[in-house]
């Protein structure tokens, strides 16, 4: 039996060994379970199947394969979950945007009043207090701007070379973080031009790369802190809207401390942050950007190695 023949199936297929460990997963299984096959390899299947309503299990006697599992994609709970996840995220963003609009005007009034007050203050040392008001109002205004910005920008796709935006992002990171970290490239130069919204993709990549740089520079004792950008072509990837002939994988890796365990399940929710002055928007906006392109944002993280991967279609589904 050649597992390769399962690749193009819409049905999720897993091949298990005698102890129930995953030895093969096709593309549809990756999408359904929301986990890459590299991560699935060798893992016990049972925890991943909780919540899948109909699993067809056929015994095999072809070592190392002992079981063939088929999960019809459109009946899988995880697939439904993913669509629900997209809908829930959109609703969350809508609520936050409405809130942001409400906050905007009073905030501008607050800042202006603090400036007027500052001019009337009899002693210069009292300016410290008005400056706190002004600076915090500016910080909130910045947050509010970022919350409403996806609505303001139209989606403007065009053709461009993805390595060009990679280089832009690395240049911006270098400007901000200077010699405190090293930047590395591992590009597949045969990646064709991508049809996408350049500015939005650049912003999403910058959000993820800045997180990596911040994690490296804010942690103690990171040996040779490095942010690495990697590109690869994907063949037959299954992305948000199904299977594509070709895809792009664009990864940002760092050798920092890793995502704090308590954050992992809700990492892409807006306003979730592990940093004292973080707004918790970078990743949720990056994920929304990828979904807008029919792509996915996935990550794995352990101390010493964290990687975020942008998975994007290079053709139309
Ligand atoms: N590469 C990374 N290594 C370690 N932790 C990370 C990494 N990337 C993200 N995180 C964690 O995920 C949190 C959420 O990131 P996100 O970009 O959404 O928000 P933020 O960086 O806190 O704020 P901002 O809106 O300014 O980006 C971060 O606060 C950080 O704790
Ligand atoms: Mg961030």
- pLDDT tens track for 144-202: 887 777 655 677 899 999 999 999 999 999 999 999 999 999 999 999 999 999 989 99
Last residue within a domain, chosen from 28, 50, 75: 75
Output the domain CATH number for residue 215.
3.30.565.10
CB of 300 within 6 A of ligand 1: the answer is no
Comparing 7-11, 34-38, 212-216, 302-306, the range with the smallest average pLDDT is 7-11
Same domain for 284 and 179? yes
CB of 211 within 6 A of ligand 1: the answer is yes
The predicted pLDDT at position 116 comes to 95
Closest protein CA for atom 17 of ligand 1: 282
Instruction: Provide the angle, in degrees to the nearest 10, between the axes of the packed helices 282-292 and 127-152.
Output: 10
List, as ranges, residues with CB under 5 A of the ion ligand 2: 211, 282
Determine how β-strand 226-235 pairs with β-strand 182-186.
Answer: parallel
pLDDT digits (tens, 9 = 90+) for 30-77: 877 878 888 899 999 988 887 666 788 888 888 899 999 988 765 444
Provide φ and ψ at 20, rounded to 5°. Answer: 85, 10
CB of 225 within 6 A of ligand 1: the answer is no
Same domain for 257 and 294? yes
Same domain for 207 and 92? no
**Cβ distance 3 to 24 under 8 Å?**
yes
CB of 222 within 6 A of ligand 1: the answer is no
CA of 285 to the centre of ligand 2 (A): 10
Same domain for 176 and 295? yes
The predicted pLDDT at position 76 comes to 41
pTM above 0.85, yes or no: no
Q: CA-to-CA distance for 99 and 289, rounded, in angstroms?
A: 21
pLDDT digits (tens, 9 = 90+) for 195-254: 999 989 999 999 999 999 999 999 998 999 999 999 999 988 888 888 888 999 999 999
Closest protein CA for atom 1 of ligand 1: 212
């Amino acid at each position: 039996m050649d597992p390769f023949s399962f690749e193009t199936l819409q049905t999720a297929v897993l091949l298990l060994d005698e102890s129930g460990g995953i030895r093969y997963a096709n593309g549809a299984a990756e999408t359904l379970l929301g986990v890459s096959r590299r991560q699935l390899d060798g893992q016990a299947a049972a925890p991943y199947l909780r919540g899948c309503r109909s699993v067809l299990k056929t015994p095999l006697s072809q070592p190392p394969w002992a079981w063939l599992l088929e999960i019809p994609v459109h009946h899988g709970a995880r697939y439904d979950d993913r669509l629900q996840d997209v809908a829930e995220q959109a609703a969350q963003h809508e609520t936050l945007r409405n809130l942001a609009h409400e906050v905007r005007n009073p905030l501008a009034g607050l800042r202006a009043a603090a400036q007027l007050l500052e001019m009337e203050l009899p002693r210069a040392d009292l300016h410290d207090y008005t400056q706190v008001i002004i600076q915090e109002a500016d910080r909130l205004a910045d947050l509010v701007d970022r919350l409403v910005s996806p609505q303001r920008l139209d989606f403007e796709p065009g053709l461009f070379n993805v390595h060009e935006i990679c280089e832009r992002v690395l240049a911006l990171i270098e400007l901000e973080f200077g010699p405190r970290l090293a930047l590395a490239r591992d590009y597949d130069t045969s990646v064709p031009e991508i049809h996408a919204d350049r500015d939005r993709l650049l912003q999403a990549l910058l959000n993820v790369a800045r997180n990596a740089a911040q994690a490296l520079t804010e942690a103690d004792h990171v040996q040779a802190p490095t942010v690495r950008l990697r590109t690869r072509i994907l063949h037959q990837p299954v992305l948000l809207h199904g299977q594509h002939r070709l895809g792009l994988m664009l990864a940002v890796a760092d050798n920092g401390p890793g995502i704090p365990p308590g954050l992992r399940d809700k990492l892409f929710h807006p306003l979730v942050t592990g940093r004292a002055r973080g707004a918790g928007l970078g990743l949720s906006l990056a994920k929304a950007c990828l979904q807008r392109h029919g792509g996915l944002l996935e990550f794995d993280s352990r101390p010493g190695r964290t990687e975020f991967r942008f998975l994007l279609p290079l053709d139309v589904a």
